[in-house]
Structure 1
Amino acid sequence: MSSFNLSKGDRFSLSKAAPGLTIVKIGMGWDPNDEPGGPEFDLDVSAFSIGNDFKIPSDSYFTFYGQIRMGNKVEDKIEKGLFRPLTEDGAITGAIDDPDGSRSDGDDDEDMFIDLTKVSHKIEQIIICCTICKYPHDNNKDRRTLDLNFGQVNDCYIRIVDERSGEEVLRYDMKDQYTNEDAVEFGRLFRVGETWEFEAMGRAHTGSLQALVDMYT
């Protein structure tokens, strides 16, 4: 199966492209800061699972690295001893934080897993987001991160992989010319009857993760 490259606004039927797809891997990557001594590009992938009122039903449906709770260990997907966030319906297993984008060749910087068969009937769409982590929440407590934006980040992408086969289904490379935006709604998975589709959104905001929290909670 060949992968499809999407542009902003494109919609894609997962059921048609990958019949039998049940567990989706959302992979995200970006290039580290190549400025000598510059602040790290610490990007975080998160998801908001929302209902027909465009709000999350409970805090559990806001999936980000800060939601980790004991007992959410997924042995076959992560290193021993590490934990990931988990939605209360058990459908979304969130990402482990990657602080700088220095992935190995062929690997994603961050990933999350979505079992489409477990998504609660309360959820109509899952918004996949990317935000820049800034002072004082960054690992190095570097005040220079306050000035970072997506206009400085290169080769940022999101892709969907069939976790069962390991095959990439689609990819969306973020090519917009951003200026001061530090939060992007990368794409969304949404129900169409009994099937799921994906839309490449690329909708940018200022205010980092808090701007998205204010929208969906």
Structure 2
Amino acid sequence: MAINLSKGQKVDLTKTNPGLTNIIVGLGWDTNKYDGRNDFDLDSSVFLLNGSGKCNSEADFIFYNNTSGSNGAVVHTGDNRTGEGDGDDEQVNIELTKVSSSIEKIAFSITIHDADSRGQNFGQVNNSYVRIVNADTQEELIRYDLGEDFSIETAVVVGELYRHNNEWKFNAIGSGYQGGLGALVSDFGLN
């Protein structure tokens, strides 16, 4: 049975699930059907971070145009341009034991493509979540539902995996940003 997290909660991932090596990080969302002016295109991105909380290079920014990082240990499965349907809208596969030792954190975000020009923000998005699934058994281990706490934000860091005493843990962050993907890329040390 999955552990449901609240904003700011941290939980052991590998310590409480011995032998866990392959996970799927699923991200999902729905958009406000009453907006109607423009189509929404939300995107998930992954930032592989060093001990300073920064990417070592552009190769550590994983998204629909750079789908693999850390020598194939982290793989984005592709862009869902509509968000239609049930279940995960986008997924990231991670082989925890193969993640480079220089990577201390793996941050997951959701951004709205062309949010400013389309007049869109996370106040028009609901049912956003991140979940971690054991890739071998398909068992959902962790789930964090973001809630409806956002208004003018155009990007959200939903959570992060991080190393602690040779184990992986998950932190439910739920931190919104204005400035979309560009603000996140800059915060994580890239141009």
Decide: shared fold, TM above 0.5: yes
Q: CA deviation at 1:38?
A: 3.5
Secondary structure (helix, strand or coil) at the match of 1:172 reads: strand
Matched, 1:110 2:82: no
| Aligned counterpart, 2:145 | 173
Mean Cα deviation higher: 52-61 or 111-120: 52-61
Give distance in 1, aligned partners of 2:83 and 2:37: 13
Q: CA deviation at 1:134?
A: 1.0
Give distance in 1, aligned partners of 2:70 and 2:92: 15
Higher Rg of the two aligned structures: 1
Amino acid at match of 1:17: T
| Aligned counterpart, 1:126 | 106
Q: CA deviation at 1:54?
A: 1.8
| Aligned counterpart, 2:5 | 6
| Aligned counterpart, 1:80 | none
Which structure 2 segments of 5+ residues have no match? Answer: none
Matched, 1:46 2:41: no
Amino acid at match of 2:122: F
Amino acid at match of 2:74: I
Deviations 1:172-191 (A, max 9, x none): 11114212101111001000
- List structure 1 runs of 4+ shifted beyond 6 angstroms: none
| Aligned counterpart, 1:96 | 78
Give distance in 2, aligned partners of 1:57 and 1:15: 25
Task: State, as a whole percentage, how many aligned pairs show the same letter.
Answer: 41
Q: CA deviation at 1:110?
A: 0.6
Q: CA deviation at 1:42?
A: 1.3
Matched, 1:23 2:22: yes
| Aligned counterpart, 1:55 | 54
Q: CA deviation at 1:166?
A: 0.3
TM-score by length of 2: 0.93
Which structure shows the bigger proportion of residues in strand conformation?
2
Which structure 1 segments of 5+ residues have no match? Answer: 68-84, 137-142
TM-score by length of 1: 0.82
Give distance in 2, aligned partners of 1:192 and 1:114: 17
Give distance in 2, aligned partners of 1:50 and 1:130: 17
CA contact (8 A) 1:24 1:163 kept: yes
